[in-house]
Structure 1
Amino acid sequence: MTSSPRSTARPPSAQGRAPFEHALREAAEIAALSPSSHNCQPWGVAWPTGRGARRAAERLVDRAPAGDPEAPDRVSGGTGGRATDEYVILALDRERELTSLPAHAVEMLVSCGAYLQILLRSLALQGWSTDRIHFVEPRAGRQTRDTHGTWPPLGDTWPVSWSPLCVVRLRGTDEPDVPDGSLAELRRTALARRTNRGPYRPEAVEPAVLDGLSAPATGVAEGADVTVRHLVADGERAAFAGLVARHGGRDFSHRQAWRETYSFVRRDAAEAAARGDGFPLSQLFGPLSTPRRHALSLALAPTTMRVLRHAGYHRVLARQLARVVRPTPAVVAIGLADASPGVGATLRGGARLAEYWLRATEVGLALHPVSVVLQHDDVRKELQDRLGLPGRTFFVSRLGRPLTDFPRAPRRLGVRAVRTI
């Protein structure tokens, strides 16, 4: 492996940057299809091209000594390559994050980790191999929300609403060792991946298939301390459905949480496509007639829910969700070993989730996250205690073969998440 260029190296010319710029645009379009809570897409990617920004990125990747808990992680697969490395910085876009519940902090990092996994995999398939990753862990007294002016010194072009999560060094090879068509295959799988809230076939998912979904991960997720548990026994699934029936209406009755959720509900598919985020009601209920769509939109509005919750409407909705969950042949729960995970561990968990979901899609399986049982600590702890789930469960979902297709949620253009600094 060649050594990285030192800070005295001159940034590449615009012509020299062109191959990576093309690869990054291609990767960003695929990574934009990553899952995120409420389809809020809270990620951003900065590409340092200026001399100061590149030096700052280089220092962040190389600065931590061996044994330091912030030491950069070397990712397998790094190779010698072009004379100049490239860097990307993954950020959380504070203008797009969910904030109404404390648990959303973990959900946002998981969403960004899933995006990072697909972004770096897409770059690898174009010949840009990940060499090192440095995760930005908050420290006491560090103002991570004001990164453009204090720490790290990324320059005035750093978006004021972005908080850096990790810095990645990539190295290029002229002839990537990947099969032809691999990038197109990844794009097809990412396009096919979606949340399907419809009914699933009652037949059990074969144990060999479940084993394949749980196989060791690659990329950012490689070596992540993550547990994957499949609930397939009747008693386990019944216990989970019972928990959903008791607590599945919590978000509907939580004023701030439901107002935030409803802000992502779009009138119809046309509005969703124009906005590029959120979801139309058809994502929740399947195809709808115009009168039924209007009726549901009115019934779910925050002002209506404030009144209807006194009549127990949120409990009705919870029982309806439980009836969808109960016959599902499998439920998957994914968790981190640490009950209080840091940024790096949580991003790796999100990367593991992306890997799992893509594998499930490849074998014809669908997922329907049931996040309400994780978004309130008391419910999540009851779930983990009841089912013996260790650490911090951050994802739980129905898993099975769908009976009907569901539309794909809208996405912003991938390049809208990329900034040059």
Structure 2
Amino acid sequence: MNHSPFRLTPCVLPLIVATVCVSITQAQQQPPAPVAVAETVQMDVAAGQTFVATVMPLKRSVVGSAVDGRVVELVVHEGERVAEGGTLAKLLTATIELELAAAQAELDLRNQELAELEAGSRPNEIEQAKAKMLGAKAEMEFGQAQLTRLKQLRNSNSASTEEYELVKSQASQREQVYQELKAAYDLMVEGPRTERIAQARAQVAFQQAMVDRINDRIKKYTIMSRFDGYVVAEHVDEGTWVQSGDPVMEVVALDEVEVYAYVVEQHAAHVKPGTTVRVDVPALPDELFTGVITTVIPQADAKARTFPVKIRVQNKITDSGPLLKAGMYARVQLPVGPPQSAVMVPKNALVLGGPQPLVYVVETGDGNSHSVRPVPIEVGVAMPNLIQAIGPLKAGQLVVVEGNERLRPGQSVVISSVVKPASTPRSSEPNGGANHGTD
């Protein structure tokens, strides 16, 4: 007689029952685990409908080169994260750095010239000019005295006209020397003219502009990312010659993503920006994502008669990268149906990772002792802090919201705190009325 491979023999069945009993007994024998609980609530929410969607990056940028040059280094590569302002690639800058060094040296020279003018004359320079002036004054006075004596001698016919004219000429020259040195002394005391200082400042400003221009060129030889993101494409290799405008790398922002859903025209009017919705990603069955509708684009696809809807979702970043990746298939549950009564639980009450989501309900036994019972559910429409639980739950039941990840069926627990839902929407409004914000 042929036997099915899945048929339980009389010997195996008691063994399975005994194993289950031992597991429950062990859970009951464990010390009570401290847990935080919250009440389930009943409210009217709009019925949800599932739409196919695609995960897209919040930003996408093909970063190109602003100048002509040769790529000497790729700092990051495909799949790696780059911060805002982080370097993606570097171009050869040896020649332009020599230009910068020369321009910087010229700027230093102009600055020193300006500083010399602004400082004015040194005290010892002024004393030197004064001494020269006084020496010339003494020479001038001696020449004038000599001329006076010779004039008297000439009047008494004791000196010739030639001698008189010679001494007169020498006295005039000595006076001119004195006047010249006196003017030089006065200029030394007054210091440089304001016009010369202004000219020197203009030369400094001009040379500073030259240095800044070269520095700006050098910055353009360093290709940077304009936002936090991940490199998804490399368009060049090291050693490649690029021209201005040539693409170098492609960067996408994934810290937040936009989920694109396409809603048929009869439901598009019910989709409102600001509504919190649930996003399911089949590739990540153990994760629950919620997002906020940011945009309903008022332009339908002419063939499909569907309207694009954008939903902003906060991504989860791990050591191995973002969980939500650009191009992932997703399903979005949008509240487009008539209001219906639903049991809502805090999102923290959900336990994922098994064949079906579940919550742990707290049951009270003899002597106010507490234990937990797993209740499998299906999730429905989402709200900022609550999510619809479809299953054998009633309003007012206590569900575990903290410490539920380590519980076992039938385990004894002690309630450490009762958490009040962060927001309790009004039942008279669609989707409960509290449909703004995220977790």
| TM-score, with length taken from structure 2 | 0.18
- Richer in strand (by share): 2
Q: TM-score, normalised by structure 1?
A: 0.18
- Structure having greater relative contact order (Cα 8 Å, sep ≥ 6): 2
Give the helix-richer structure, 1 or 2. 1
